[in-house]
A and B are shown apart, each in its own frame.
Chain A
Amino acid sequence: MADLPGIAFQILQSVFVVLAAPLLLGWSNQCRARLQNRSAPSILLPYYTLAKLFHKDAVIASNASAFFRVTPYIVFGCMWLAAGIVPVLATDLPFAPAADIIALVGVFALARVFSALAAMDIGTAFGGLGARREMLIGFLAEPAMLMVLFTAAFISGSTQLNTIVETLAHRELAIYPSLAFAAVAFLMVLLAENARIPIDNPTTHLELTMIHEAMILEYSARHLALIEWAVAIKLFAYMTIGIALFLPWGIAEAGDWGALPLAFAALAAKLALAGAGLALIETLLAKLRLFLAPEFLSTAFLLGVLGMLTHFLTRG
């Protein structure tokens, strides 16, 4: 399967995702600002921020262990890997068989565990608090995510994102009620996993509410930059997973250069929509109290289960 164009596609896509991720973030922020009648920042703001951070001198606590310094790179690596696996532009990528959806969830979990541990390394109150809350969200979100993916897997009879996307993409436009449930559940998980409102607020530093920010409070400069970048990639990856599961049309086969522009355009359009949608949600919803998060996510879990059951029932 490791043919040359395939490799080329693989690399192309990975690089593309890594580079494009901040753009999506910027776009979503811009939309949110507009929706909130603020004067919108440049869509490229995330890039500026990253550049600024990279230039700064890193400052870390004197009792930090090596673990603390390694983590940003590992997290970034995990996200990059994820970006390589998800069929963003094309299916049937050579690396894709290395990890199916379950492994994909595993990758995100790996990143989460490392960042949580790093947060506890310095031994401040905030670090532990953030880690604790992050893991809370994590263990609630992960099963919900799996339920969503299982629904898709049952429909396509496979846990390979490739196969899933292909089966879903080349089907006639039939309505899968199970997928409707799954989509809602997935959206909720996406919000939670990417530390967006209503679970978390990426822009706040209020200790009562912050989760993800509390974890990375001790990071600075390039470390912080890598983490922020990883966050962007994660958001991007989730978006593309959602797209792959629920509106996969127009995606290209690996090595099929001709289909590439179309796929590219389709993706851009979908992402633009998704970003705007995210901004809309974040504007309409209010942040939930932390202890309502479990209810929120268990709802997501239940929806995922419902989706699966409806699949079994409707399938007869």
Chain B
Amino acid sequence: MEIAFVLGFPLLGGLLLALVGHKRWAPELNALMSFTTLVAAAALTRRVITDGPMTALQEQFFVDPFNVFLVALTAFVGFTTALFSRPYMRIEEHHGRLNTARLRLYHSMYQMFSFTMLLCLLSNNIGILWVALEGATLATVLLVSLYRTPASLEAAWKYFILCSVGIAQALFGIILLYFAAEKVIGPGGTSLLWTHLYEVRDQLEPTVLSLAFVFLLVGFGTKVGLVPLHNWLPDAHAEGPTPVSAVLSGLLLNVALYAVVRSKVLVDGALGRNFSGGLMMGFGLLSVVVAAFFLSRQKDIKRMFAYSSIEHMGIVTFAFGMGGPVAAFAGLLHMTVHSLTKSAIFFAVGHATQKTGTQNMADIRGLIEQSPTIGWGLALGSLAILGMPPFGVFTSEFMVLTTAMHEHPWATPFLLVALGVAFAAIFGKVQPMVFGETNLRRLPHPPALVPVFVHLALVLILGVYIPPYLVEWYRQAAAFIG
């Protein structure tokens, strides 16, 4: 029942806003729909925590601690981002970068986007998962190209082509999976359902599954932004409207990674952990290192934080690749704190860019002087994302690193060097933007910075204290991932 609401509200919102998205009160409606979604998600979460995993609608939908935690996260960040986008989009309109038609498109697509992501998370059918993920791509392509500037078109085009091609590979992987499952379960719908696949996962044909996993990894990995499949990501983040960058970094990457992890669990059943784990650790490590070195060359602020997203997705992938309760726990935790922190950063960045009218970091100076909230938000957010205690990012990184030291000592130097380089790069660029003489102008609408500090507060709390029920929740999910 809650599932219906969780999926229904955003869908409804999408259709509604497609009609009325250009009205003055559309942003409020947008936020409202996201809020209802959040409420429904909360209800669903409570239900799952109490009653344990469940399926619905002839097993087409499936909820367990793993995906419900992502559902809650998605709904939450979706809501805060909607709050942030309210003044942000107004200001954009005021600056004349958007007209009402575009606003309508934006609002409707925003809801559709969250709908597709939630569908992707909740669907028990791997085929539907694929469909939803592709749908998310389509929605975000429209969002990325919202400004219709050459740059945004180029970014959107690359995003579209690369992700579609990637996801097509994933479809082939799914077909192979189906091909293998059919032999065990027999033809018909059920052999694409996660629940059924898990039951028989140790009987599936290993060679097929290894092939399938390669295709799935390349396919979904493109969307996660794993190096060397990441090339669409910085462009798309840099050129789209900032709320979209926030949800891309904060949510879409998580969802794609969710798909990877699900398939990994499936494949591990047949092949044992080393195969998939090794691949994922390799990709994760590569992403971390390469992204870290990319960071120091950035001029565009959003582009830089896009690369930092790649880096952190690399860390999470590495963690899940290592496997084991602690690493999986750390991975989940890192997903959470990264979404919160990164979206908070993008909120601050959004207003900062609006104040200066540029995304070029060399032209942004003295935020703390002109608007302390934005300045502190950006400074603290960046330090948090760089893994500075007492923020939660450090917590998960600590767990990942310590586990890595146990099980794969060879990897730790790479990770640590990458972390050091990333710190020097990002911090060296953020500091002059935050400090120094200011060069900013006033905004036509008061910026919404409550979300920034709510997120950062949550991350801070997670840094020093993880509530027991959350621990329990993560533990269940981690146990599933293994």
Say if the two chains contact directly (CB < 8 Å): no
**Chain B positions near chain A (C-beta within 8 angstroms):** none
**Chain A positions near chain B (C-beta within 8 angstroms):** none
